């Protein structure tokens, strides 16, 4: 257990569905991240929140919408996804740029878009 939990662990959705991924960290960190992991590709950073404010958005399509209501919770809202969005979505937390940026990962949500 890394102190970062994600739900659901698996999600299958149609292209017209709306769903949300949830991440919670119990480590007292002040930064949270969403990554996308596709087969045979490096981890791709999607969003970064520091102190509940979005500080980075790596040209992610608007069909992905993040939300960070507090420093312990992070959501990724999904709507009108495409089959190529099927991947493992990983959440991570860390202390942010105030220190060397070790990040702790959750187990991920395996998303399949039909």
Partner 1 sequence: GESVGLHLPTLSVQEGDNSIINCAYSNSASDYFIWYKQESGKGPQFIIDIRSNMDKRQGQRVTVLLNKTVKHLSLQIAATQPGDSAVYFCAENQSGFFDMRFGAGTRLTVKP
CA 27 – CA 84 distance, rounded (Å): 33
97 binds partner 1 (CB under 8 A): yes
Stretch that binds partner 1, among 11-19, 59-67, 68-76, 96-104 (CB under 8 A): 96-104
- Smallest gap from residue 15 Cβ to partner 1 (A): 26
Q: How many CB atoms lie within 10 A of CB 82?
A: 10
CA 93 – CA 29 distance, rounded (Å): 6
Contact string (CB under 8 A) for partner 1, positions 49-68, x = contact? -x----xx-x----------
Considering the complex, state which of residue 16 and residue 41 has its C-beta at the smaller distance from partner 1. Answer: 41
CA 11 – CA 24 distance, rounded (Å): 17
């Amino acid at each position: 257990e890394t102190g970062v939990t994600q739900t659901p662990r698996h999600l299958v959705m149609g292209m017209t569905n709306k769903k949300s991924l949830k991440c919670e960290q119990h480590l007292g960190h002040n930064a949270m991240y969403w990554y996308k992991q596709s087969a045979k590709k490096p981890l791709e950073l999607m969003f970064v929140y520091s102190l509940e404010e979005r500080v980075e958005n790596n040209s992610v399509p608007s069909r992905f919408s993040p939300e960070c209501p507090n420093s312990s919770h992070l959501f990724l809202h999904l709507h009108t996804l495409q089959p190529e969005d099927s991947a493992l979505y990983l959440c991570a937390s860390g202390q942010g740029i105030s220190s060397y940026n070790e990040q702790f990962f959750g187990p991920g949500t395996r998303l399949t878009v039909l």
